[in-house]
Structure 1
Amino acid sequence: MFKIAVTGKGGVGKTTLAGTLSRMFARDSYDSLAIDADSDMNLASSIGIKNPPKPLTEYKNLIEERTGEIGGVFKYNPKVDDVVERFGVIGPDGVKMLIMGTVERGGSGCMCPASSFLRAFLRHVILKENTAVILDMEAGIEHLGRGTTRGIDLMIIVVEPGMRSIETASRIKKLSQDIGIKNIAAVVNKGPSKSVKPYLDKFEIPLLGEIPYDPQMVNADLEGLAPIDYGGESVNAIENIKDQVLKMIKHSK
């Protein structure tokens, strides 16, 4: 089993990458679990799921039951092993999907019940040996402050040509290392990697590959189709990135 988190500055294409990877891993016979941990909650459409599940944070009674009463002592490790079967849906290629939903109290050190439950699920859920977990994280760096991605096997930072995106990538790398994430790599989207790679090299962030600007991605979005079902140059590029992801994970184990 391995867990991958996909992150980056807002609008760089992380959800497209996360959803497409989840489908590709499923086609490679992995038990693929895609988790939408972004407050925008758009992962379902990039996978091709028409009827996404209800966000877990809307099950307030469940969260209170598992984490402790409001105002009481929170359980740091609430029961989470039944969450996928009870609250997930199955999409194309057999991809299983969960939506985390929003957390009312964000920020570093938040111990509200919903945040405690989400962290526990991402860290302690017991899955099959051949499971690939793909997390579409919220944009920016706040999730690193909450520590929800602690213990993942690979942090993929999606970067586009531009200094703001590169600066976000450097902050993500530092904060990822602070919570013990050892494998961090980048994917360049919407442009050639040659203008970005010198900065990635400076920050010692290895490059998994690049996704070229592809008008078919825009068409797929307008038609409400998952990129992998629409096809195009970008999908082929993500297939190559998937192979590099597997090599990096296997090399690190």
Structure 2
Amino acid sequence: MKIAVSGKGGVGKTTFVATLARVFAENGKKVIAIDADPVANLAVTLGVKNVSQIVPISQMKDLIKERTGATSEEYGKFFQLNPTVSDLPDKLSLEQEGIKLMVLGAVKRGGGGCACPESAFLRTLLSHLIVQRDEVVIVDMEAGVEHLGRATVKAVNALIVIVEPGSKSIQTAFQVKKLADDIGLRAIYAVGNKVASDEHRALIEKGLSGIPVLGFISYNEKVLESDIVGKAVFSENSQLLDEVRLIKKNLEDCTK
């Protein structure tokens, strides 16, 4: 299962990615969670300590130069468009709660993005993870729709858009769907988050007409509490885990 998660900034993408990764891991699956959002919060959401010491792969200049033959500072120099990356998921991942975590850092837009060694390196690594690895791969994408230019997104089993009650979030979901349709990605689903009432559920379901809704995550003050104390978002949060377990089941049913 290869899953990309998108949505408007602040809707709870990272909370969902971390909890979904945990749910897959508790069933004995090998899981790689990838933080591809320039605002990298997946590590702390998984409960990783000393997150300030994590160096995003995009900032590993020596490694990028070793694999591509150049860095972006070397203007005009030829570099490898398809560098060797197959050994890196095991070398550069952290393990937390039975989940391997990779922090990519800023990934430039595929297709129309910058033609630089760092961009080529990260695109190749992301493609390897999605296409060639046999683990469950869950990618926390940058907020919005910019990532949909990347050819690697075509390989995912599902693109899940996280939506909170509100017109802006719903509008973003349709922007994601349109661009996904443009590149031939049909397996698009939504998850409602921060839902506090039946009215919220109805608003999301009605607003997302044409996008299947896999389920809902309730407004949950323990999510905020986990951030304050620096523990995993799903720690001692049975409601969140149960709701994401149901979403996982519905996802598996839809992608059989």
Q: TM-score if structure 2 supplies the norm length?
A: 0.88
Q: CA RMSD in A?
A: 1.9
Matched, 1:99 2:98: no
Tell me which residue corresponds to 1:49: 48
Q: How does 1:153-232 map to 2 (within 5 A)?
A: 153-191=157-195, 192-201=200-209, 204-232=210-238
| Aligned-pair CA distance for 1:103 | 4.4
Match of 2:155 among 148, 151, 154: 151
Matched, 1:16 2:20: no
Letter matched to residue 22 of structure 1: A
Q: Unaligned stretches of 5+ in structure 1?
A: none
Tell me which residue corresponds to 1:79: 84
| Aligned-pair CA distance for 1:146 | 4.5
SS of structure 2 residue aligned to 1:49: coil
| Cα pair 1:6 1:136 within 8 Å, conserved | yes
Letter matched to residue 100 of structure 1: L
- The whole-number CA distance in structure 2 between the counterparts of 1:120 and 1:223 is 36
Tell me which residue corresponds to 2:66: 65
How many aligned positions are there?
Answer: 244
| Cα pair 2:109 2:150 within 8 Å, conserved | no
| Cα pair 1:3 1:153 within 8 Å, conserved | yes
| Aligned-pair CA distance for 1:105 | 8.1
- The whole-number CA distance in structure 1 between the counterparts of 2:123 and 2:167 is 31
| Cα pair 1:3 1:132 within 8 Å, conserved | yes
SS of structure 1 residue aligned to 2:63: helix
Question: Which runs of at least 4 in structure 1 moved beyond 6 Å after TM superposition?
Answer: 104-107
| Aligned-pair CA distance for 1:107 | 8.2
SS of structure 1 residue aligned to 2:32: strand
Q: Unaligned stretches of 5+ in structure 2?
A: none
Matched, 1:234 2:240: yes
Tell me which residue corresponds to 1:88: 93
Identity across the alignment (%): 43
Tell me which residue corresponds to 2:250: 244
SS of structure 1 residue aligned to 2:155: coil
SS of structure 2 residue aligned to 1:227: coil
| Cα pair 1:5 1:136 within 8 Å, conserved | yes
Letter matched to residue 217 of structure 1: V
SS of structure 1 residue aligned to 2:143: coil
Q: TM-score if structure 1 supplies the norm length?
A: 0.89
**1:104–1:168 CA distance, 2 compared to 1 (3 A):** closer
CA deviation string 1:86-130 (max 9, x = no partner): 1111111x21010001247888232211111111111124323xx
- The whole-number CA distance in structure 2 between the counterparts of 1:232 and 1:120 is 37
- The whole-number CA distance in structure 1 between the counterparts of 2:254 and 2:168 is 27
Letter matched to residue 233 of structure 1: Q
